């Protein structure tokens, strides 16, 4: 066994037999690099969408909390046949509390029935 084979490679060194790599191995590396570049682009795109979404969520929350109309954010609960059987309250705005006299804490997360 050659001493060079026992010596660990640094990250900047290319393997000694690199020139002897079959063309398929080089093509596989190119495919992997291209796949990584595509995944990085997809990740960057998702991060951009997440930033935009967070901004939209903040704007929605401002409008929701400052509007003068009382609002409930609800989910319709249906049975196996798809018939409505209940309503789950996810959120209410401050105007809802003022107009109904019902506190947010007493309704959020509860069903109407």
Same domain? For 76 and 62 the reply is no
> Span 81-110, mean pLDDT?
96
Same domain? For 100 and 86 the reply is yes
Number of domains in the chain: 2
Q: Residue 11: pLDDT band by 50, 70, 90 thresholds? A: low
- Domain for residue 107, yes or no? yes
Of all residues in the chain, the percent with pLDDT exceeding 90 is: 57
Q: Are 85 and 79 contacting, i.e. CB atoms less than 8 angstroms apart?
A: yes
Please say if the pLDDT value at position 106 is more than 60: yes
Give, in degrees to the nearest 5, the angle at Cα 53 between 38 and 39. 10
Please say if the pLDDT value at position 111 is more than 70: yes
Between CA 108 and CA 6 the distance in angstroms is 66
Q: What pLDDT was estimated at residue 1?
A: 53
Chain segment 57-89, per-residue pLDDT in tens: 899 899 999 999 999 999 999 999 999 999 999
Q: Note down the domain range covering 43.
A: 22-66
Q: What is the mean pLDDT of the chain?
A: 85
Same domain? For 28 and 61 the reply is yes
- Domain for residue 95, yes or no? yes
Same domain? For 59 and 38 the reply is yes
Same domain? For 59 and 74 the reply is no
Same domain? For 59 and 73 the reply is no
- Domain for residue 5, yes or no? no
To the question of pTM greater than 0.95 for the whole model, the response is: no
- Domain for residue 41, yes or no? yes
Same domain? For 113 and 74 the reply is yes
Same domain? For 74 and 60 the reply is no
- Domain for residue 33, yes or no? yes
Q: Are 93 and 64 contacting, i.e. CB atoms less than 8 angstroms apart?
A: yes
């Amino acid at each position: 066994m050659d001493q060079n084979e026992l010596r660990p490679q640094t990250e900047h060194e290319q393997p000694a037999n690199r020139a002897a790599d079959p063309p398929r191995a080089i093509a596989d590396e190119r495919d992997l690099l291209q796949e990584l570049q595509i995944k990085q682009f997809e990740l960057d795109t998702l991060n951009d969408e997440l930033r935009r979404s967070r901004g939209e969520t903040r704007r929605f929350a401002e409008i929701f909390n400052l509007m003068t109309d009382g609002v409930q954010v609800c989910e319709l609960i249906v049975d196996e046949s798809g018939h409505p059987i209940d309503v789950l309250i996810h959120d209410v705005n401050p105007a809802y509390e003022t107009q109904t006299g019902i506190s947010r804490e007493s309704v959020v997360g509860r069903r109407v029935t």
